[in-house]
Chain A
Amino acid sequence: MTARQLPAQQQPAQQRSARQPAAQQPPVIQIRHLTKAYGHGDATVHALRGPLAPGTGEPEGVSLDVEQGDYVAVMGSSGSGKSTLMNILGCLDVPTAGRYLLDGIDVGHLDEQQLSLVRNRKIGFIFQSFNLVPRTTALAQVELPLAYAGVRAAERRRRALAALSLVGLSERAGHRPNELSGGQQQRVAVARALVTAPAMLLADEPTGNLDSRSTRDVLAIIDDLNASGRTVVLITHEDEVAEHAKRVLRLVDGQIVSDVRQAPVDGPPPALRALAGARP
Chain B
Amino acid sequence: MLRFALGGLAANKVRSALTMLGVLIGVASVILLLAVGNGSSQAVKDSITSLGTNSLTVSSTNLRGSATAARKLTVDDAKALAGATDAPSIKSVAPVVTTTATALYGNISYTPGSIVGTYPAYFETANQKVVQGDYFSNDDVLNSRKVAVIGSTTAKQLFDTEDPVGKRIVLGGTPFTVVGVLATKGSTGFNDPDDVVIAPLPTVQNAFTGFGSVSQILVQADSADATTAAQSDITRILMGTHAITDPGKVDFRVSNQASLLTARESTSKTFTVLLGAVAAISLLVGGIGITNIMLVTVTERTREIGIRKALGAPKAVILGQFLTESTLLSVLGAGLGVVAGIVGSRFSIVGIKPVVIPQSVLGAFAIAVAIGLFFGSYPANRAASLRPIDALRHE
Contact = CB atoms under 8 A, between A and B. Distances in A.
A82 interface: no
A119 B312 contact: yes
Contact of B304 (A90, A121, A125, A134): A134
B315 interface: yes
Interface string A131-168: 11111100000001100110000000000000000000
B308 interface: yes
Contacts of B17: none
B11 A135 contact: yes
Interface in A86-111: 87, 90, 92-93
Contact of A131 (B303, B315, B389): B303
A87 B389 contact: yes
Given A131-B303, A133-B304, A135-B7, A145 B392 contact: no
A133 B307 contact: yes
A116 B7 contact: no
A99 B218 CA distance: 98
Nearest to B8: A135
Interface residues of A, number: 26
A192 interface: yes
B23 to A, nearest CB: 24
Main secondary structure of the interface of B (DSSP, over half): helix
B317 interface: yes
Range, interface on chain B: 10 to 19
A148 B4 CA distance: 14
Nearest to B4: A136
A117 interface: yes
Contact of B315 (A87, A116, A127): A116
Given A93-B389, A131-B392, A125 B7 contact: no
Contacts of A119: 309-312, 388
A44 interface: no
B173 interface: no
B314 interface: yes
A112 interface: yes
Contacts of A93: 389
A120 interface: yes
A121 to B, nearest CB: 7
Given A92-B389, A93-B389, A132 B311 contact: no
Nearest to A124: B311
B315 A113 contact: yes
B313 interface: yes
A7 to B, nearest CB: 12
B314 A117 contact: yes
Contact of A120 (B303, B311, B315): B311
Contacts of B304: 133-134
Contacts of A133: 304, 307-308
A148 B317 contact: yes
Contact of B312 (A131, A132, A135, A145): A145
Contacts of B314: 113, 116-117, 148
B307 A148 contact: no
A125 B303 CA distance: 15
Given A92-B388, A93-B389, A116 B307 contact: no
Interface string B284-326: 0000000000000000000110111111111101000000000
Contacts of B388: 92, 119
A144 B308 CA distance: 8
A145 B307 CA distance: 10
Contacts of A121: 312
A159 B304 CA distance: 23
A125 B311 contact: yes
B7 A131 contact: no
Given A87-B389, A92-B389, A93-B389, A131 B313 contact: no
A148 B306 CA distance: 14
A114 to B, nearest CB: 10
Interface string A184-209: 00000000100010000000000000
Contact of B307 (A87, A112, A113, A132): A132
B389 A145 contact: no
Given A131-B310, A135-B7, A148-B311, A92 B317 contact: no
Contacts of B310: 90, 92, 119, 125, 131
A192 B315 contact: no
Contacts of A144: 308, 311, 313
Nearest to A144: B311
Contacts of B306: 131
A87 B309 CA distance: 13
A14 to B, nearest CB: 16
Interface in B1-50: 7, 11
Nearest to A134: B304
A4 to B, nearest CB: 13
Nearest to A84: B389
Contacts of A92: 310, 388-389, 392
Nearest to B307: A131
B312 A149 contact: yes
A116 B312 contact: yes
A127 B306 CA distance: 12
Interface of A: 87, 90, 92-93, 112-113, 116-121, 125, 127, 131-136, 144-145, 148-149, 192, 196
Given A131-B303, A144-B311, A148-B311, 5 more contacts: A92-B310, A116-B309, A119-B388, A144-B308, A148-B313
18 contacts: A92-B310, A92-B388, A92-B392, A113-B315, A116-B309, A117-B312, A119-B310, A120-B312, A127-B392, A133-B304, A133-B308, A134-B11, A134-B304, A144-B308, A144-B313, A145-B312, A148-B311, A148-B317
Interface of B: 7, 11, 303-304, 306-315, 317, 388-389, 392
Question: What 8 pairs across the A-B complex have the smallest Cβ distances?
Answer: A120-B312, A119-B312, A92-B389, A145-B311, A93-B389, A131-B307, A116-B314, A92-B388
